[in-house]
Amino acid sequence: MIGAESTDRVRLVLGAYKLMRYKIICSILLVSSIAITSFLFPWHMAEAEALFHIREMKRPNVPGLVVAADDELPDLTARSAIVMDAATGLVLYERDKDARRYPASTTKIMTLIIALENSDLDDMVTVSKHAAGTEGSTLWLEAGDEIRMGDLLYGMMLHSGNDATVAVAEHIAGSVPAFARLMTEKAHEIGAVHTNFINANGLPNDAHYTTAYDMARIAAYGYQLDGFEQIVSTKEASFAWVKDQTHRLRNENQMLWLYRGGNGVKTGYTDAAGRCLVSAAKENGIQLVAVVFDSVYMWNDSIKLLDYGFSLVRPAQIVRVGEQVGEMTISGGHGRIPVCAAHDLTIAQRKDKEEQYEKKLVLDEVSAPVVRGDKVGKLMILRNGQEIASVDCVADADVVKKSFFARIVSYIKSFVGRWS
């Protein structure tokens, strides 16, 4: 028989062996993960303008992929790709940008736009049975859940919740088909004329399509809207209704971690669409948007696109927030007031070209009373007579409404002036 002391020694030896084996396994896993990460993304942090860099990876054989002889980025694995200045729509690189593609979950960029323009973020949305039963990626919403609109938009963009898109669509338009019509109309309005939406989440449908150019235009438009950048650039968010012990959602867009200045926007995948990614980054005030559709290495492709785009341009500061751009008379008010830019406007200008821009102030018909900060028009930026960008303009002073007596006096002065 083995005594108690011997038994204890055996247990200690076995425990030590198990602990050592556990440490060895953990060490192997850690070293392996570091090695893999270093191979795929051997980046380094550099100075202000530096971006993350990746090891050059030879493009694999992609069946049916045709790369033009003059393609500036021949190793891209995407069938369609583009990088664009969001402020002006200037295309810095494109590959098959007008080919019809399935957008998968990048569809949700337009869903977000429609929601921001047609609802209040504090609206309470009741989840229907139809929404709760939506297939694909899900937030595990349940019929009868009441969730704040803003929370659903975060869940839709960070975790790609298809059920959230249906709940949002039904709340705003009454049904998904009606909401999809709003999406298509908006796409055409902003110049994405080769796009047609059938649903709010990008689940496969032959009649649900877009192009790389159109999706870049859609994303670029989004950055003009209050709340858009804040949502699509959020890495993590916590909500009590998230059915997870941590109650946290982590953004699936790894470009927010991989790319310096990354601030959007959405991933996507279906068998029909392949790997899709709309990414974005801001550097020195320049906001670029990149799109890759049906890509083998979508992260690498997107990093190369943004790197290439930033290498071609320099910032051109058009106007600063608060800068006076003109004056105007307010109907029913006293005198003239200054008009100022509502926010900064910086556009990308190619380093190899010197271009001239013209500014044109377009004022709305505004009647008193006016509060300082009210929108009163826009400043258009023209190149060769064509509008390429604009910035909202606001009143830089309060204007009270004239009293009835003051209006009579003004009318008499005006009448006398005509005949004097």
For the question of residue 160 being annotated catalytic, the response is yes
Check 128, 160, 233, 302 and give the catalytic one.
160
Residues of 247-282 as b/e, b for ≥16 C-beta within 10 angstroms?
eebebbbbbbebbbbbbbbbbbbbeebbbbbbbbbb
For the question of residue 32 being annotated catalytic, the response is no
Q: List, in sequence order, every beta strand (DSSP E) within 171-299.
A: 236-238, 248-250, 262-270, 274-283, 286-295
Q: Rounded to an integer, what distance in angstroms lies between the CA atom of residue 35 and that of residue 151?
A: 37
Q: Rounded to an integer, what distance in angstroms lies between the CA atom of residue 142 and that of residue 359?
A: 52
More confident residue, 13 or 99: 99
Angle (deg, nearest 10), helices 162-173 and 176-189: 90
Fold of 80-313: Beta-lactamase (3.40.710)
Give how far Cα 376 sits from Cα of 227, 327, 330, 387, Å. Answer: 21, 11, 10, 19
What contacts 306, CB < 8 A, 6 or more positions away? 51, 83, 259, 279, 281, 288, 290
The model's pLDDT over 127-162, given as tens digits with 9 standing for 90+, comes to: 999 999 999 999 999 999 999 999 999 999 999 999
Give how far Cα 67 sits from Cα of 3, 80, 397, Å. Answer: 77, 10, 56
Fold of 320-404: Peptidoglycan synthesis regulatory factor (PBP3), Domain 2 (2.60.410)
For the chain, percent helix, then strand, then coil, each to nearest 5? 35, 25, 40
The model's pLDDT over 309-365, given as tens digits with 9 standing for 90+, comes to: 999 999 999 999 999 999 999 998 888 999 999 999 999 999 998 888 999 999 999
Mean per-residue pLDDT over the chain, rounded: 88
In this predicted structure, the answer to whether residue 24 has a pLDDT above a threshold of 90 is: no
- Residue 314, classed as helix, strand or coil, is strand
Strand partners, 339: 326, 395
Q: Rounded to an integer, what distance in angstroms lies between the CA atom of residue 402 and that of residue 217?
A: 44
In this predicted structure, the answer to whether residue 247 has a pLDDT above a threshold of 50 is: yes
pLDDT at position 39 is: 44
pLDDT at position 48 is: 28
Residue at 200: amino acid letter? A
pLDDT at position 420 is: 58
pLDDT at position 335 is: 82
Q: What are the domain boundaries of the chain?
A: 80-313, 320-404
Looking at beta carbons, which pairs linking 126-129 to residues 24 or more positions away fall under 8 Å?
126/167, 126/171, 127/163, 127/167, 128/166, 128/167, 128/170
pLDDT at position 236 is: 97
Read off the pTM: 0.82
- The stretch 21-34 carries a mean pLDDT of 48
Check 97, 108, 186, 304 and give the catalytic one.
108
Check 105, 128, 233, 302 and give the catalytic one.
105
Residue 194 CB-density burial (10 A; 0-12 exposed, 13-18 middle, 19+ buried): middle
Q: How far apart are the first and last CA of the chain?
A: 129
